[in-house]
Each structure stands twice: as structure tokens, then as C-alpha cells.
Structure 1
Amino acid sequence: TLPHQTDHFFKSMMMPVLAPAGVQEYIDFGVHGYAMSRYSGCWVAFKALADTVETSASVDVDPDRVQVVIPEDFAIPADGLNIRWPDPPLVQEKRLLNQKLYAALAYARANRLNRVIIDAPDARLGIITSGKSYLDVRQAFDDLGIDEALAAEIGIRLYKVGMVWPLEADGVRLFAAGLEEILVIEEKRQLLEYQLKEELYNWREDVRPRVIGKFDEKGEWAHIGRSDGTVDHGDWLLPAAGELTPAMIARVIAGRIERFFTSDRIQARLAFLQAKEKSLSERLFSIDRVPTFCSGCPHNTSTHVPEGSRALAGIGCHYMVTWMPERRTGTFTQMGGEGVPWVGQAPFTS
């Protein structure tokens, strides 16, 4: 059981994925999701992160806020794209791969779900991001003291992606034109980065920018020999493990622009962020206040095991029993698989 990332699963199911950046976009993209589904015939996925779901905000609920634009550059076939009966599997597959996904791309293009937010007349560094990571990038800009005017002076172009899969190619190439480097900032494993590299790979070498994201220029799977005979691999820039924070993003942005722009103000802000991160990582108290079950919760009594026995944990609140050694409960498994570890242990149990 690992921290999950469902957008890769949605991709495998050939479902366009919308990634709202905040509570307001949950409403706006919700409207677009319904409209895109009706237009293209696709199931449309919606990326929901706890950081956004478990929060609140003031929002505009004007029913006319989102004006849906019907694409003019895609021809709907005479028999449409939606479900019908009978509909053999191979016919469905052909329609999905040859028409429905391209209809979804046309919808994203017509409604500008992906767009440039900050531009510069002579942009050198492009940043492409989406969802929560977009807000983290804006926070990183604020932390570094980079407003839109300074970003233009530095040469930064910022591209916000609303539909993270499939990645609409025309907008990407317009965004990438003239850039020296593109930094992809996204939480967890690469989704945008792999698509971006694929779409730019066959572009002319004289206009194709360098693309980095989770790893630096050495590459993700690089096997690099050192002078001492040992081998190394690419260095993580924005790790996929754990949480991506605005401070981590700020350090990477500052490092990438340092090749052609720096200022005492940015360096001072960066030093402050590093000191703050260091202080937050240090323990202030020598005791731990371990979470436990709420008063009245059945887990308070149901997790006690008979003398001489031991139990195995599951996912959810029950997992907290693994922090209580006196209740002799170890290991854990995914939701729905709680009994599986017993299968392997049963032959060795009397």
C-alpha cells in the first residue's frame, strides 16, 4: 500500500483528466467536464486532492460564469460519438482512439483549458504546471519576490494546464516556442512531463527546448560513470516521493534562473526559506503525542487482542493500532485485502 496517484489509472482507461487548481475551479471545471463529456462522448476524470477538497473558499456561482465554446475545428461524425446499442467492443475502441479523444482535445483547445498565464517578450525559461502545483508555483514566486513584472524581466513564461491528459499539442508548441528550457512542476509521478517530451521530441532541434522536471539534465534512468569507477544516476529536482512544497519549488526555480538572472533580493528570500525549512524540520520537543482513537469509537475496545494472540492492521483509523505496541498488531495491507496476510501465516500458526 502506497500513497496513490489515480491520474495514471485514468490515463490507462483513456479518460481525459481535468485538474482544478482550487475550489472555484472545481465548479468551473465541473461544468467543463460535463460539457466535454457530452461533446466528445468520453468519460471525463476529475483530479481531487485532499489539499483542495478539505478546504473552503468564497466562490462565484453565477450560472453564466462558464461560457462553453463548441469547437469549430473538429467534425463530429454523422452517427455521433456517444453510446448506442448495439455497440461491439472493437467498434467502441476504434471510435475512442480515432475520434472521441480528439474531440476532447478540440474541446480543451476551444475553451482554453490550457493557457499561458505569465509571458515575457524574450522568454528563456518556461514553467508548465497544473492543479495544486500551479498554486504552489505562484506561492514560490511570491516567496522569491517574483511578481509578473519581474517574471517578464527575468524571462519566465508560465503555462497552466487544465486538462493534464491527453496534453493538447498545439498549445504546448506555442508555449514552447523560443524557450531554452522548460521546467515541469507536478505532484507525484510524471504525467505532464512524459507527454511534453513526446510531443517535442520530433520538433526541429533549433527550436526544441531542453525539458527537465523530476530529474535534472542527467536524466531519469541515466547510468553515469564517476572518475572513481563508481556509477551514479540523475539527481532528483522535484522528488515524486512525499509532498512537493512551495519552498522546494522555489529553490528549483531560483536554481534554474540563476544561470542568466539573479538578485540580492531573491538570494535573501531563498536564504530565509532555507532557514525556515531547517527550523521546521528540527524537533522542538522530546516527547511525541501519538494520535489515538476518538472517545466512543469502537476501535478503542475492538483492537484489544486475547493474550498470546496478535492481529494484523488494515487501512483507515484502524491503522493507528500499529502505534500501540501493547495491542500486538503489526503490518498492514490495502483496503479490502485485510485477510490476505493471514493466508501466508496460517500454515505456521497453531
Structure 2
Amino acid sequence: MNAQSINNLFKLEDKYTLQEGQIILSGLQALVRLPLDQGAADKRNNLTTAGFISGYRGSPLGGLDTLLHNQKHLLDEHDIRFMPGINEDLAATAVYGTQMADFFPDAKYDGVFSMWYGKGPGVDRSCDVFRHGNFAGSSRKGGVLAVAGDDGLSKSSTLPSAIEAAFYYLWMPLFHAGNVQEILDYGRYGIELSRYCGLWSALKVTTNVCDSFCTAEVSVERLNILKPDFEINNEVWTPSQNILLLPPYSLELEHEIIYERLEAAKYFAEQNKINQIFSHGDRDKIGIVSTGTSWYCMMEAFASIGIGEKDLAEAGIRLMKLGMVYPLPDNQIKEFSKGLERILVIEEKRSFIELFIREILYNETVRPVVIGKNDESGDRLVPADGELDADLIVKIFARVFQFKNDKISERIKQIDEAQSIVLEKSIVRQPYFCSGCPHNKSTQVVEGSIAGGGIGCHALAIYMERSNFGITHMGGEGVQW
């Protein structure tokens, strides 16, 4: 194959423009493509829509704004406007405004679909805006997707984050992407769900997914998103939209969110099979539930000890992969649990999925034991801190499952030996400024004075003997005095 034929087969711009086939792109590039795919789908459905993107940079979404700026011409061609926010909550307020287009009779578009982005602390500071926007409701031909970047190991953050509880508090349906393909797929589902049930949707992405670079399948027919009629009291239901967020309207909207919109979200997830059950057998006794990157780490763990699909079936192990982690469809969880004696929930950070599964199954006459953060004896099992990986999950399997083979013992021995070598040969290197960095000079404090640390590279001064004292959240520098 010559250079010309290779050039005809592959072009760098394919990751954004190719409509049928296989593309190569990163997690962040998938977030650039996502609104383009949504706009194209709307056109195929004879909708005249526009797109809007706003947010604030921060790891693991730190480079997203640069990628969006670089594709301004392409976004403009598809009526998608990118306007970075001064901060996360003002960006979310701009997104909130896009859903009000329906209230104007001379609107240029049928609706505006919007994407907000920000890291974990950005979710924290934007909760009030999210809450107001979620109560007011999303447009039937618009929709909102909030993309939240979690930095679970504090690789580029002061504190580790886990955003699931925030979106539960806000009553925002939450998807969790475990790879680049799922950013494209769950992102589309999220926007369509927002239109369907009237709630803002959220998509969780992690550092490993955003920084990864892999292939993804794109096709006009890849996603057949179903939006069947949802009935309440034998009547077809549609979500309301109300920007009068004062009593009594706000109380009426609270009722609608809890008893109608969230139920519609569950129905949407069931009909579109966003949560999937694998290895389902009548003799299954153990079930495992996981999501996002933890699911793929779990599958890697199985592969590393020679456990395949046939072995799972023989061992009576049933699997459930959650694409939407909140709200969980009650019927699917009950179907999954039938006949099981135990359910193991593999998820990072504090219990979230585990708590909801327990709540759904609590009143069942026959129900399995649910374990996760602790086993049946109350001993710690799945860590609630740090990050999960395949090696750690192998050790969890060894404690939970009855099947034993030489590969499990051998693999655990390899893991322990590798970890001991790393610990023995680790070289401790204190973080320091890059050569020529102006912070190296500006963070030197006048003798007799002290300075408070802040968010950014200058925070490295805290590690040095420079009379720097403590650190605050972004925007709070100096106020602690």
C-alpha cells in the first residue's frame, strides 16, 4: 500500500467528520464530536436545532476548551456555539438560558441542545444553578448534558473527587462512561433522555477515559434511541417547563421531578437497554454489578486469571453493567437479582450503587445479600478511597468467590512481587517548578511575612520552605486571613 492510498483511507479530520466506519480519537475529542453527532441526528429527524457549549477548564477536562476553539469553523457550520464561562456556575447559567427558547414565539430554532463541562469542584460550586435549571426543566427539542470530570487520584487537583452524590442530590440522571465509545453513546442518550423526561442529564468521565486514545465505531444506524410514550394513570405524560421558580410552582415541580420525571428516566433507560445483564443462567448464585472504568478493570481482572464467559456461566456468576447509575430502574435490578444468593457491587469511592440496590431489594420476600464496601462479616472489601484497578479486583475475587485455580494464586503472587519491587525501588522526588517558571521567583516571600497558597502551579510552593501557609479552594485565596 502506497502513501497515497493510506492518505485516502485515513484523514485526521475523520474523527469529527466521518459518518460511517471506524475513527481514532481521544476522550476529549469525543466530547468535541458529541454535539456534532447530536446536531446531525436532529437534522435526520427534521429538527432545526442549534447547539451550545459552555464550561470551565479543569483536569481531566483541561484541554477541552482548546480543542473546541480549534474546531470553531466546524462548530459554526453546524450551528453550534462555544462560549467558555468565566467560572463553572456562570457557564451553567448560560446553559440554563438556552432551554428558555421555547418561551419565545419568534425563536429561530426548534430547540437548543446544550453541553456544560467542568471538573468535580466545578460541579460542587454549580449545584445551585443545576438545581434551578433542573426544576425549570429542559426543552423538548433542546436538552442539557452536564459533563463532569472526576479526578479520583488528585492527579491535578487538591482533593480527590466523586460527583455521584451531588447529582443524586440534584435529581439529575447520571451516566458513567468507561471508554471513548461510551462518551459518544451515553452522551447522545443523555441529551435525548433530557428531552424525554425534562431533567438535565449528567455524564461522568474520569482521567483515564479523557486521556485515552482509541478507536470508536460511528454510524447513522448505531444508536436507535427509543422514546416510547410514558404513561401515568393510563394517560400519556409529558414533562412541564416552568421558569416561575417560586411557590406554589416550585413545590409542584418538586412533586413532578420525584414522582414523574425520574420515573420517566427509569423507563427510558429500560426501553433503551442502557443497563445490560450478561451471563444470565437459571443456576446463577452470585451477581456482580459494576459501571464505567471499574467494569473494564473487572473484565481485565477476569482475563488475567483465565476466567472467560464459559467459566462465569459454569461458576454461576451473573454480571450487570450499568450505563446509567442514577436513577436505577427498579424492575431491572429485581430481574437481575432473581435466584441470586449474593450480589457484589464493584464501584469506586463511597457506596452509591450499592445503597440503591439495597433499597430496591429491601422489601423483597426473597433477596440476596448485597456486599461491596464490606463483606458479610463487616470487614472491608472494595476500597472506598483511591482508584480501583484490575490487580486490586483480582484480590477481591479471591476473597469472595469459591472457585480457585492455580492462575488466581499465581496472579496474586505476581501482583505482590511487583508491588514490593516498586515500593523497594521507589525514588521520592519533590514536585518543583519547571525551569524558567516565573512562579519560582514570585512565590518567594519577603522575610518576616507569610503567604497563603492557592490553586495553580504556584501551589507547589507549599512543598518548599517559603513561608507559604495552607491552601484554599479556587477563588478563595487570601480570604482565610
Structure 1 residue aligned with 2:473? 334
Q: 2:428 aligns with which of 288, 292, 310?
A: 288
Structure 2 residue aligned with 1:263? 405
Once the two structures are TM-superposed, the CA of residue 124 in structure 1 deviates from its matched residue by 1.5
Q: Deviations over 1:267-318 (max 9, x none)?
A: 22222223223333x1315x53323223444322221111122222123322
The AA in structure 2 aligned to 1:241 is D
- Counterpart secondary structure, 2:213: coil
CA contact (8 A) 2:282 2:339 kept: no
- Counterpart secondary structure, 1:305: coil
* More strand as a share of residues: 2
2:349 paired with 1:188: yes
Runs (5+) with no aligned partner, structure 2: 1-157
Structure 1 residue aligned with 2:120? none
The AA in structure 1 aligned to 2:267 is A
* TM-score, length basis structure 1: 0.86
Q: 1:212 aligns with which of 349, 354, 371?
A: 371
2:289 paired with 1:152: no
The AA in structure 1 aligned to 2:307 is I
CA contact (8 A) 2:173 2:200 kept: yes
CA contact (8 A) 2:229 2:236 kept: no
2:232 paired with 1:91: no
Structure 2 residue aligned with 1:139? 300
2:445 paired with 1:305: yes
2:180 paired with 1:40: no
Whole-Å separation in 2 of the counterparts to 1:158 and 1:316: 42
Q: Deviations over 1:119-159 (max 9, x none)?
A: 34421211000111111111111122111111111111110
Distance 1:179 1:34, change over 3 A: same
Whole-Å separation in 1 of the counterparts to 2:316 and 2:189: 32
CA contact (8 A) 2:279 2:317 kept: yes
Structure 1 residue aligned with 2:274? 113
Whole-Å separation in 1 of the counterparts to 2:211 and 2:338: 38
Whole-Å separation in 1 of the counterparts to 2:169 and 2:243: 25
2:389 paired with 1:250: no
Whole-Å separation in 1 of the counterparts to 2:463 and 2:457: 11
CA contact (8 A) 2:177 2:323 kept: yes
Whole-Å separation in 1 of the counterparts to 2:338 and 2:363: 14
Runs (5+) with no aligned partner, structure 1: 219-233, 343-350
The AA in structure 2 aligned to 1:211 is V
Distance 1:13 1:257, change over 3 A: same
The AA in structure 2 aligned to 1:262 is K
CA contact (8 A) 2:394 2:408 kept: no
Structure 2 residue aligned with 1:318? 458
Distance 1:303 1:109, change over 3 A: same
Distance 1:78 1:184, change over 3 A: closer
The AA in structure 2 aligned to 1:276 is A
Once the two structures are TM-superposed, the CA of residue 245 in structure 1 deviates from its matched residue by 2.0
Write out aligned runs for 1:152-171 (5 A): 152-171=313-332
Aligned CA-pair RMSD? 2.0
Whole-Å separation in 2 of the counterparts to 1:85 and 1:330: 45
Whole-Å separation in 2 of the counterparts to 1:272 and 1:85: 59
Give the count of matched residue pairs.
320
The AA in structure 2 aligned to 1:3 is P
Whole-Å separation in 2 of the counterparts to 1:34 and 1:132: 22
Once the two structures are TM-superposed, the CA of residue 77 in structure 1 deviates from its matched residue by 6.2
Once the two structures are TM-superposed, the CA of residue 86 in structure 1 deviates from its matched residue by 4.8
Once the two structures are TM-superposed, the CA of residue 82 in structure 1 deviates from its matched residue by 3.8
The AA in structure 2 aligned to 1:68 is I
The AA in structure 1 aligned to 2:183 is Y
Identity of aligned pairs, percent?
A: 39
The AA in structure 1 aligned to 2:238 is G
Structure 1 residue aligned with 2:136? none
Whole-Å separation in 2 of the counterparts to 1:115 and 1:72: 22
Q: Deviations over 1:313-348 (max 9, x none)?
A: 1233222211222x2223222222222332xxxxxx
Q: Deviations over 1:66-100 (max 9, x none)?
A: 11012355459667304145562112112111211
Q: 1:274 aligns with which of 416, 432, 437?
A: 416
Structure 1 residue aligned with 2:20? none
* TM-score, length basis structure 2: 0.63
